[in-house]
């Protein structure tokens, strides 16, 4: 085998290893972000559950049927529906962190939490801000399909509840039929920019990984050059 061919093969082999390492670094970085966001949402879900119970106990602890006082349905809803919404995302965040299923389940859960909090506060418009806050938090994943999952859930939930129980979502009994579209429009407005941000962030992460690969390649080149100098010096000493 000629020296030139051997050198070419060595370069190709080294380039393959460096490119593979860059890909692995990029994936490891993404995994770190996914897992960190999963942990954050795991804690947030439990925090929201406690918050919902406190809201229900504070604003509507009892119901009256004549002279009979009972615990208000909202308390049970906060307790049991809250537990149902929280359990799967928290379990997935705990047992399967970093997986696509986990972050999409969390997106669904987080939007259902918005819906439940809106219901528990009687459709207060201010509680709708929870939806936008949640979308911003979901952008922590830097994975834009998660935002689409959240958007589909919140739009569907607003549509169905707007038809079946409008007071629960808008605080009034007879909103316009298209009210959910107005809410959906602002959600789409918000996620359009969040999606752009997620995509840009992913590009930056890839560029960082590639920059690392280029530096590794430079280092490999310098190592080869210094090895060649050492060999030449050794050969020179051998000749004397």
Partner 1 sequence: MTVETSHERQDGKGYDRVVVPAPEGGTRSLSRKQFENLPLRERVSYLIEGTAQFFLDGKPILPSEAMRT
Provide the binding-site residues for partner 1, judged by CB under 8 A.
Answer: 11-12, 14-16, 18-19, 22, 210-211, 213-218, 220-222, 224-225
* Shorter beta-carbon distance to partner 1: residue 39 or 211: 211
Q: Which helix (H) or strand (E) holds 8?
A: helix 3-59
The least distance separating partner 1 from the CB of residue 8, rounded to whole angstroms, comes to 8
For 76, 128, 130, 160, the CA distances from 118, given in Å and listed in that order, are 16, 6, 8, 14
Provide the β-strand partners of residue 70.
Answer: 63
169-181 in b/e form (b: 16+ CB < 10 A) is: bbbeeebeeebbe
* Shorter beta-carbon distance to partner 1: residue 167 or 220: 220
The least distance separating partner 1 from the CB of residue 222, rounded to whole angstroms, comes to 8
The least distance separating partner 1 from the CB of residue 28, rounded to whole angstroms, comes to 17
The alpha carbon of 238 is separated from its chain's Cα centroid by a whole number of angstroms, namely 63
* Shorter beta-carbon distance to partner 1: residue 70 or 221: 221
Instruction: Evaluate whether 116 touches 157 at the Cβ level (below 8 Å).
Output: no
The least distance separating partner 1 from the CB of residue 5, rounded to whole angstroms, comes to 13
* Shorter beta-carbon distance to partner 1: residue 23 or 145: 23
């Amino acid at each position: 085998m000629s020296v030139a061919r051997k050198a070419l093969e060595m370069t190709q082999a080294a380039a393959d290893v460096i490119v593979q390492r860059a890909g692995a670094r990029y994936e490891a970085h993404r995994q770190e972000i996914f897992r960190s966001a999963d942990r954050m949402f795991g804690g947030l879900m439990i925090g929201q559950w406690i918050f919902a119970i406190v809201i229900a106990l504070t604003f509507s602890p009892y119901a009256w049927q004549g002279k009979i006082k009972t615990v208000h349905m909202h308390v049970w809803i906060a307790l049991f529906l809250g537990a149902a919404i929280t359990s799967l995302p928290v379990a997935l965040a705990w047992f399967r962190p970093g997986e696509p299923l986990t972050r999409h389940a969390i997106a669904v859960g987080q939007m259902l939490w918005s819906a439940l909090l809106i219901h528990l506060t009687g459709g207060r418009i201010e509680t709708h801000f929870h939806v936008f806050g949640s979308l911003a938090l979901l952008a922590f994943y830097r994975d834009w399909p998660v935002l689409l999952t959240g958007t589909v859930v919140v739009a569907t939930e607003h549509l169905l509840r707007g038809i079946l129980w409008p007071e629960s979502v808008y605080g009034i009994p007879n909103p316009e039929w298209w009210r959910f579209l107005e809410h959906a429009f602002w959600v789409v407005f918000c996620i359009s920019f969040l999606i752009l941000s997620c995509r840009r962030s992913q590009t930056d992460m890839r560029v960082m990984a590639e920059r690392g690969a280029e530096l590794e390649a430079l280092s490999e080149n310098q190592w080869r050059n210094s090895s060649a100098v050492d060999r030449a010096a050794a050969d020179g000493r051998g000749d004397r």
